[in-house]
Amino acid sequence: MNSPVPHDRPRVLVLHGDDLPPGHERMDDDPRLGGVVYATADELPARLPGAHVLLVWDLFTEALASAWSKADSLDWVHAATAGVDNLMFPELVDSDVTVTNSRGVFDEPIAEYVLGQVIAFAKDFQRTWDHQREHRWEHRETERVAGKRALVVGTGPIGRQIARKLTAVGMRVSASGSRAREGDPDFGTVVESSLAERGSDGGPTLVSVLPEADYVVIAAPLTDATRGLVDRRFLGSMKHTARLINVARGPIVVQDDLVRALDGGSIAGAALDVFENEPLKAISPLWGLPGSVVSPHMAGDVVGWRDDLMDLFLDNLARRLDGRELLNVVDKSRGYVPG
């Protein structure tokens, strides 16, 4: 698609689900805009023509891909999410349309969630709560957090905040990323995210350091390289006392392989906030497997998060109107904002 020269009074289209974004009134009557239009996924094809800016507020929708042929004026898409995998369809990737995301809004809340899960595992809170409901007094010992090893898969801003939180309680943190390096300010050592025995530089890789980790935290974007990364081999490389925490995207983990690992005791537990298909079906074994903790894709959703998302978009919209550089521009060839 050939994108036209940006309009001096751009028309904004908001793709929403059940609810409109909070504070949307702040742009409804903005004289600098050529109008603001709202559409659900079903309405998108009819309302997309003539729109210059698209705010994807329907967080995980894939409606834009099917309506893309109607995007005759679009030059900027903003996602109200950190992950943009639902927008990385070939036509958009190959176009001149700029994509931005909501990087920065979820970093601290997700890091707090991960820290909470680590402490809950180590201190056996689940069994404490179960025993309280049963009025059962049973003394037992728990684990230390300080000194444990955490491996963070993904070195973006969410992964960095996770590393800082875990380091603050005395954990030894390392990471895997697209490029191996030493002396990283948050991770120390970063190994190449590869399941090969040796990296491209001949150094250690993800698969070689997995056996050292007590906690493996998935914080990477969903890309062709990470889809299905956590499979039988990955899980089999973890030690049987280790726990997996996934706050990234569900398809990074091969769910059937994880079920087998938990059911067979080859890992000690998994805290999962994301799943291959959401919502997680009531019949899924993950609800009741030993060591399994399920939350409904809420790790980053703290009080006020929607307002923060809208504030970020409005700041970027002001930048667009002022002719300034946009924040959080996604490298569409990679599927994320470069660090």
Q: Please give the mean pLDDT across all residues of the chain.
A: 95
Residue ranges of the domains in the chain?
A: 12-105+303-322, 107-294
CA-to-CA distance for 172 and 318, rounded, in angstroms? 42
**CATH number belonging to the domain at 12-105+303-322, selected among 3.40.50.2000, 1.10.287.610, 3.40.50.300, 3.40.50.720:** 3.40.50.720
| CATH topology match: 12-105+303-322 vs 107-294 | yes
Is pTM, for the whole model, over 0.75?
yes
pLDDT in tens, 44-69: 999 999 999 999 999 999 999 999 99
Fold topology of 107-294: Rossmann fold (3.40.50)
pLDDT cut 90: percent of the chain above it: 94
Q: How far apart are the first and last CA of the chain?
A: 28
- From the list 32, 278, 324, 334, the catalytic residue is 278
Helix-strand-coil split of the chain, %, nearest 5: 30, 20, 50
Backbone angles phi, psi at 154, to 5 degrees: 120, 125
334 as an active site residue: the answer is no
- From the list 24, 52, 297, 320, the catalytic residue is 297
Closest CA to 270 of 298, 301, 238: 238
249 as an active site residue: the answer is yes
278 as an active site residue: the answer is yes
pLDDT in tens, 195-248: 888 888 888 999 999 999 999 999 999 999 999 999 999 999 999 999 999 999
pLDDT at 118 over 90: yes
- From the list 11, 47, 249, 320, the catalytic residue is 249
